[in-house]
Amino acid sequence: MSDDGLRKAAVLLMSLEEDDAAKLLAKLPNKAVEKVTIAIAQMETVTSREQERVIAEFLESKPSVLATNSGGLERAKALVKKALGKDATDMISVLQQALESLPFGFLHKADPQNILSFIVDEHPQTVALVLSHIPSPTAASVLQGLPMARQLAVIRRIAQMGQTSPEAIDEIERALEVRMSLVMNQSFEKAGGVESVAEILNVSDRATERQILESLAKDTPELVEEIRRLMFVFEDISKLADKDIQSILKNVETAQWAMALKGASQALQDKVLRNMSSRAAEMLKEEMEYLGKVRLSDVESVQQKIVDIVRNLEENGQLARPTGDTEEEYVS
């Protein structure tokens, strides 16, 4: 069977319902089954235009048979299992080995952006060789990421490419696979970032914190906002002194506390409740029970509003946030 005929057979089988395709596949010799299922596994998808053209050629255009156009390894395995039943194991093994032995087989499921990052600076001839051996949709995505001048250079080389020696393909394939595996397997330790700034400023004296944030706000106010939100989280309210908790209570409605405390630790709930009057605490408990299950996003939204209130109270000198991990102690 010619390459063109093999592709048409694969497209036809991909266009049929799985049971019908399996029945048709079961009528083919094992060698033909092997070849056509490998073609299906490599193809993933086909365009509707090609599908219609193949169907028209085989069945004089009967659109009602167009059930699906998905391919891929799993589709190929499913067809083999249905077609050969208990004899499918050996064929699936052959199919798997054949795909793994394909040039640049390790790239067939790789993300196009990852492939692009590794070949973007390669010679156009090398890029052309790689793109000509990976699935067309993947190759198209990689090509799209190249500068226009390199796109044209690569396309020209693909168009003019004849037979390439297996040794050359193998050499480029091994080099690329080694480079990708080295980078993909590296473990990177995260350092720095906005979180680190927030942690540092959280334990700095207030004068230093204010000076740094005011300086940053001149050029990057959005960065300052992000830092501020990370510096003091809702759960940190439990570190505040009772008198500061009482200041917050005066500025936050009971309904807000009911929602916010649904996602709080028991320690924070207890601290807020004990700074309320008995009657207010009972009302808050009842409202929390009445709310029942609530969306986490709603809880976090109200918690952030309370954090913003804490921040405003601090800026106005109405409370003082502790600089350490525990509540500040007071002496008389």
CB 247 within 8 A of CB 318: yes
pLDDT on residue 187 = 45
82 versus 283: the higher-pLDDT residue is: 283
Token pair 């499918």 in the structure block, residue? 88
pLDDT on residue 175 = 78
Q: What is the pLDDT of residues 312-325, one digit of tens each?
A: 888 788 887 655 44
Q: Is the pLDDT of residue 164 over 90?
A: no
pLDDT bucket at 48, cuts 50 / 70 / 90 = low
pLDDT on residue 88 = 58
Residue-range domains of the chain with CATH:
3-100 (1.10.220), 105-184 (1.10.220.30), 190-231 (1.20.5), 232-332 (1.10.220.30)
306 versus 191: the higher-pLDDT residue is: 306
CB 243 within 8 A of CB 274: no
CB 33 within 8 A of CB 76: no
pLDDT on residue 105 = 62
74 versus 252: the higher-pLDDT residue is: 252
- Number of helices (H), then strands (E), belonging to the chain: the values are 19, 0
Q: 7-11, 29-33, 58-62, 219-223: which range is least confident on average?
A: 58-62
Q: Is the pLDDT of residue 298 over 80?
A: yes
CB-count burial class (<10 Å; 0-12, 13-18, 19+) for 281: middle
Q: What is the pLDDT of residues 220-247, one digit of tens each?
A: 888 888 887 777 778 888 888 899 999 9
Residue 70: φ, ψ to 5°: -90, 140
Q: Is the pLDDT of residue 161 over 90?
A: no
Instruction: Tell which residue, 307, 327, 303, 300, has the closest CA to residue 243.
Output: 327
pLDDT on residue 330 = 45
User: Rounded distance, CA 174 to CA 104, Å?
Assistant: 9
Q: Is the pLDDT of residue 29 over 70?
A: yes
CB 16 within 8 A of CB 24: yes
The number of residues in the chain equals 332
pLDDT on residue 319 = 81
pLDDT on residue 52 = 67
Q: What is the pLDDT of residues 77-134, one digit of tens each?
A: 565 566 556 555 655 565 555 554 556 666 766 778 878 887 888 888 888 888 877 7
Q: What mean pLDDT value characterizes the chain?
A: 75
Q: Is the pLDDT of residue 72 over 70?
A: no
Of all residues in the chain, the percent with pLDDT exceeding 90 is: 11
User: Rounded distance, CA 12 to CA 10, Å?
Assistant: 5
pLDDT on residue 183 = 53
Cβ neighbours for 22, distance < 8 A, ≥ 6 positions apart:
78, 79, 81, 82, 83
Stretch 136-151: mean pLDDT, rounded?
84
pLDDT bucket at 260, cuts 50 / 70 / 90 = very high
288 versus 78: the higher-pLDDT residue is: 288
Q: Is the pLDDT of residue 327 over 90?
A: no
